[in-house]
Structure 1
Amino acid sequence: MARMLGNTEHAFDSAKSQFWVVDANGLITDKRENIDPDALPFARNTNEAGRQGLREGSSLVEVVRQVRPDVLLGLSGVGGLFSKEVLEALKGSTSAKPAIFAMSNPTKNAECTPEEAFSIVGDNIIFASGSPFRDVDLGNGQIGHSNQGNNMYLFPGLAAYITEDEVLKGMIFPPISKIRDITKEVAAAVVKEAVEEDLAEGYRDIDARELQKICQNEEEVLEYVENSMWSPEYPTLVYKRG
């Protein structure tokens, strides 16, 4: 987030101010004793928290009620942490389409399920989880998308390959059926950048000079990448009993 804002100290402070971090002992402020060094940059100033009606150790539901966040991000490893009370509080979000990210694995440790999120907060939310869940039937032909935000998807390039229609439906990643096509596009972009920065050494029977020529044509570099991709296709093996 800080890099998107300019990667300066001011940008970091601005990005940091968007987070209200709650752990097992409640809201983390600068009054916390023996604070985890990783959490220290996100510790809220006590006076600032007070202006929000909060204090050191305020509960998750108190923070959600007072802050009215746009995004509820769960990294706790505690199944069911986003209780009915917490999800009810999120209905007061300042966002018209709040996001709920229940990222803990395995499934039993997810902070909530998509069914709970959609049924309590409402249809107009974005839901993602670390574990796989089925989409939710909202009725009237509407689907509540359960986006799986695992590490297969978390690499650069994906945002360019999701359509506006998919975004409007609440999807934050392209469908898995497109993964090979997207991988090809991302790989082609990496190849072109490597050639541009004079880092490419070629591959197999294609040397660096020929790779430069290939990269001058978009279709050729995509074809080159596709031909270099491994396809998990196996012949059918038939065993006959002797």
Structure 2
Amino acid sequence: MDHLWQFNFQGLSFTLKERQQLGIYGLQPPYVRTQEEQMEICKTFIERLELPLTKFVYLMDLHDTDEKLFYRLVSENVEAYMPIIYTPTVGLACQKSSQIFAKPRGLYITSNDVGHIYDVLKNWLVPSNRIICVTDGERILGLGDLGANGMGIPVGKLALYTALAGVNPEISLPITLDVGTNNKELRDDPSYVGLVRPRMTGQEYDDFIDEFMEAVVKCFGQHTLIQFEDFGNHNAFRLLHKYRERYCTFNDDIQGTASVVVSGLLACTRLTGKKLSENVFLFLGAGEAAIGTADLTVKAMEREGLGLDEARGRIWMVDIDGLLALDRPEGGVDGYKQVYAKKHEPVKDFAAIVNDVKPSVLIGASAASGAFTPDILKAMATFNERPIIFALSNPTPKAECTAEQAYTNTEGRAIFASGSPFGTVVLGDKTYQPGQGNNAYIFPGVGLGIILSGIFHVNEQVFLIASDTVANNVSDEDLAVGRVYPPLSNIKECSIQIACNILEYAYAEGKSDNT
């Protein structure tokens, strides 16, 4: 029955001769459809579906039944379908995952598998994986702990590796590490498909992740790229620093997010006429995305000639306890936040902080919907001729402000970007097409470059290369309509250029194991 597996992945496009040779003649209707015909039928059907979640379910079913058609449909219609299979719709799909579960995708490794993770990995049918995307489901987008329901994230990420960078899907493996969930609502849901137990923590958790990493290398080889996704803040940085010199790995929430934000900031310099290092940055949020972005921004400013301390001094941060200030009485400042803490009196009111710091760049990574209020946006317009407003939280309902709010409250002078897509905004006689700072501009090209070059240790220079590449793909026409990212329709070209630039870097610096 092996022919039935092939049958699932080409659908009605098998010719009569192929059907006879494969022994599937009679298992399909007699009509032979070209892939072009099938694509038009799919697009027509999707357009008739009203709900994004219904469109998601349809596309995932297509992925299961006709993989070639799925990838061609997505890769040739990125702007239409990426928001469905990725942000923002994937967030809702994860929330509803147990209810819409129809067919397993990827590999589930649970805390019950301690001591046997290698055996679980061997159950994956393809033995030559080069990219693994893994989550433990603790911090899915801005939605929190979704446990085993987070599988949609690695599945969606790896689908984009293929659609946007041409990576063979056979070498990719989505994995969810189900170590339980602290989401009581999920544990009480009779339809929940994951382990019904609180999260594994402490040394027990660390030993579990250690075993997983070692098992991956034993099963698939040392050069397997392991991409971490949506781990909790308290684990994300710790695991990245623990493993980055021992394995081929990166954390997309930290490094991929940083790279795409810095690419947008670099493009902004063409509109403001200021170097990156001439800005003052204020972050709302001090989690993994914010810290990663701040760290890469510092490296970019160092490249322009600033010293490390001077570069860090231009970055201010606010977390749930207020401004990161030295010796603040509530919340403290520890871990990776410490380098951005300022000698300043503790302040909790965000609007007061904005008016005090007078930033030129406001970056939201807080999942605090509406935190960039009209008064704050108006204040930004008084400090700056072209205020930079990046409302990056996902999904869309978590954004710190909308595109329309940013333009309206700054007299149309804001340079705006968001994490989830916003539509065209018309203000007077001006039409704005805001850009989306989507990690999909970065990770497919970075992953492809790592695989092709044989880079083993993924350093920050790789992500600066990706930032430069994306920024260089922003045209004057894009900037004229307020877009600081290339159109999503150009994302495949960006991915290939990123991979090529990483290859050049790897060979020039002796970082490649493929020489």
Same fold (TM over 0.5): yes
Greater relative contact order (Cα < 8 A, sep 6+): 2
Contact 1:21 1:28 in 2 (8 A): yes
Which residue number corresponds to residue 151 of structure 1? 439
Contact 2:370 2:401 in 1 (8 A): yes
Which letter does structure 2 place at the counterpart of 1:180? K
Is 1:41 aligned to 2:339, yes or no? yes
Contact 2:381 2:413 in 1 (8 A): no
Which residue number corresponds to residue 120 of structure 1? 409
Contact 2:347 2:353 in 1 (8 A): no
Q: Secondary structure at the match of 2:385?
A: coil
Instruction: Return closer, same or farther for 1:5/1:28 CA change in 2, 3 Å cut-off.
Output: closer
**1:66-119 Cα deviation digits (max 9, x unpaired):** 2221111111111111112222221222x3211111111111111111111111
- How far apart are the structure 2 equivalents of 1:186 and 1:25? 38
Q: Secondary structure at the match of 1:117?
A: helix
- TM-score, with structure 2 as normaliser: 0.35
Which letter does structure 1 place at the counterpart of 2:498? V
Which letter does structure 2 place at the counterpart of 1:130? G
- How far apart are the structure 2 equivalents of 1:90 and 1:193? 39
- How far apart are the structure 2 equivalents of 1:105 and 1:28? 23
Is 1:87 aligned to 2:400, yes or no? no
Which letter does structure 2 place at the counterpart of 1:159? A
- Fraction of identical pairs, as percent: 32
- How far apart are the structure 2 equivalents of 1:56 and 1:187? 44
Q: Which structure's residues are more often helix, by fraction?
A: 2
Contact 2:323 2:346 in 1 (8 A): yes
Q: Secondary structure at the match of 1:20?
A: strand
Contact 1:3 1:11 in 2 (8 A): no
Which letter does structure 2 place at the counterpart of 1:87? L
Which residue number corresponds to residue 199 of structure 1? 512
Q: 1:22 aligns with which of 299, 307, 318?
A: 318
Which letter does structure 1 place at the counterpart of 2:488? I
Contact 1:68 1:92 in 2 (8 A): no
Is 1:184 aligned to 2:480, yes or no? no
Which residue number corresponds to residue 170 of structure 1? 482
Instruction: Return closer, same or farther for 1:166/1:16 CA change in 2, 3 Å cut-off.
Output: same
Which residue number corresponds to residue 390 of structure 2? 101
Q: Secondary structure at the match of 1:167?
A: helix
Deviation at 1:195, TM superposition (A): 4.7
- How far apart are the structure 2 equivalents of 1:11 and 1:172? 27
Cα root mean square deviation, aligned = 2.6
Gaps of 5+ in 2: 1-296, 443-462
Contact 2:315 2:340 in 1 (8 A): yes
Contact 1:114 1:133 in 2 (8 A): yes
Contact 2:302 2:311 in 1 (8 A): no
Q: 1:72 aligns with which of 352, 356, 362?
A: 362
- How far apart are the structure 2 equivalents of 1:32 and 1:16? 19
Contact 1:127 1:145 in 2 (8 A): no
Q: 2:424 aligns with which of 110, 135, 159?
A: 135
Instruction: Return closer, same or farther for 1:43/1:189 CA change in 2, 3 Å cut-off.
Output: closer
**1:199-239 Cα deviation digits (max 9, x unpaired):** 374xxxxxx7xxxxxxxxxxxxxxxxxxxxxxxxxxxxxxx
Q: Secondary structure at the match of 1:100?
A: strand
* Alignment length (residue pairs): 192
- How far apart are the structure 2 equivalents of 1:198 and 1:126? 37
- How far apart are the structure 2 equivalents of 1:37 and 1:193? 32
- How far apart are the structure 2 equivalents of 1:145 and 1:27? 32
Which letter does structure 2 place at the counterpart of 1:45? K
Contact 2:381 2:414 in 1 (8 A): no
Which letter does structure 1 place at the counterpart of 2:323? L
Which letter does structure 2 place at the counterpart of 1:82? F
Q: Secondary structure at the match of 2:401?
A: coil
**1:110-145 Cα deviation digits (max 9, x unpaired):** 1111111111122111111111111211232x2223
Which letter does structure 1 place at the counterpart of 2:512? L
- How far apart are the structure 1 equivalents of 2:399 and 2:343? 30
Gaps of 5+ in 1: 47-54, 202-207, 209-242
Which letter does structure 2 place at the counterpart of 1:199? S
- How far apart are the structure 2 equivalents of 1:194 and 1:37? 31
- How far apart are the structure 1 equivalents of 2:504 and 2:343? 46
Instruction: Return closer, same or farther for 1:15/1:6 CA change in 2, 3 Å cut-off.
Output: closer
Q: Secondary structure at the match of 1:101?
A: strand
- TM-score, with structure 1 as normaliser: 0.70
Contact 1:26 1:60 in 2 (8 A): yes
Instruction: Return closer, same or farther for 1:35/1:144 CA change in 2, 3 Å cut-off.
Output: same
Instruction: Return closer, same or farther for 1:31/1:88 CA change in 2, 3 Å cut-off.
Output: same
Q: Secondary structure at the match of 1:38?
A: helix
Contact 2:424 2:433 in 1 (8 A): yes
Deviation at 1:58, TM superposition (A): 4.2
- How far apart are the structure 1 equivalents of 2:421 and 2:371? 18
Which residue number corresponds to residue 308 of structure 2? 12
